[in-house]
Amino acid sequence: MTPTLSTPALVLHTTAYSETSVIAKIFTRQLGVRSYIIKGVRKGGGRTKQNLLQPLSHLDLVVYNNPKTQINYIKEIGPHIGPSTSHAFEQSSNQAIHNALRFFMTEVLYKTLKEEEPMPELFDYVVDSSCFNDSDQRLSQHPILFLLKVSRHLGIEPMDNYSHREPLFDMMSGRFQYAGDQTLDATISLLLHLYLQSMHTGSPLPIASLPQRTELINRLLDYYQMHLAEFHNFKSHEILHSVLQ
């Protein structure tokens, strides 16, 4: 008999499978990223409702765990019971921004995480950072912080060696240097340094204009593409830029 395992999980992507089911790529806390067949989702009156499988829905699962099989089945599925409300897409005055941020975060994770080892610290960070509220003053800063935090877990975090002697961030080497063919300009390099400094030391977040934040997000996505072979055709930042204006 295939053993079962209980784990919190976050939905990354679903694909139609047969007439009534889906294959879901899910980021689990216990097992890392795994693919599961969920039966009956696309059938009227099915036990599992499709609205439970929105991007970054926070679930509690009991899954069959056969290491010899690439795609397993889910025995039990339900919304996470706990303080997190990331599965609840409640209405708010910033709903469009909240949804765009969740789609952005989901696409980053879907395109970067492989079906390998568990990453419980990253899982907990994603859960915490996907709970938005209308009083959050850092929504416009969130995409930059998210990209930098995830880069740390992926082993490609930019090195914060910024100085007056090495003030330009080089995209290929992942560190600041004096000059180079693939360096960011002085303003965006300084902004990157200030965000890294804030993330590492807890210092206040930098003040930046919308065009500057947009430019830094775009360059960080370019950085991901340079250092992660399968990171390409990224789309959700275009919607994000439009709603953050």
Residue 107 lies in a domain: no
Does the model's pTM come out above 0.85?
Answer: yes
CATH, residue 71: 2.40.50.140
Per-residue pLDDT tens over the stretch 206-233: 999 999 999 999 999 999 999 998 898 8
Q: Given a cut of 80, is residue 165 above it in pLDDT?
A: yes
Q: Given a cut of 80, is residue 47 above it in pLDDT?
A: no
Average pLDDT taken over every residue of the chain: 89
Residue partners of 34: CB distance under 8 A and separation at least 6: 25, 26, 28, 63, 72, 115
Residue where a domain terminates, one of 79, 99, 120? 79
**What is the domain count for the chain?**
2
Sign of CA dihedral 194, 200, 202, 203: negative
Residue 127 lies in a domain: no
Compute the radius of gyration of the chain from its Cα atoms: 19
Q: Given a cut of 50, is residue 145 above it in pLDDT?
A: yes
Per-residue pLDDT band at 111 (split at 50, 70, 90):
very high
What is the distance between the alpha carbons of residues 61 and 77, in angstroms, rounded to a whole number? 5
Per-residue pLDDT tens over the stretch 50-101: 778 999 999 999 999 888 888 999 999 999 987 654 444 455 568 888 889 9
Residue type at 134 in one-letter notation: D
Q: Given a cut of 70, is residue 197 above it in pLDDT?
A: yes
Highest mean pLDDT among 76-85, 118-127, 135-144: 118-127
Q: Given a cut of 70, is residue 162 above it in pLDDT?
A: yes
What is the distance between the alpha carbons of residues 133 and 244, in angstroms, rounded to a whole number? 15
pLDDT of the residue at 222? 96
Residue 120 lies in a domain: no
Residue partners of 35: CB distance under 8 A and separation at least 6: 23, 24, 25, 26, 70, 71, 72, 115
Q: For residue 167, what are the domain limits?
A: 137-243
Residue 39 lies in a domain: yes
- More reliable by pLDDT, 201 or 42: 201
| Cβ atoms 31, 7 nearer than 8 A | yes
pLDDT of the residue at 86? 43
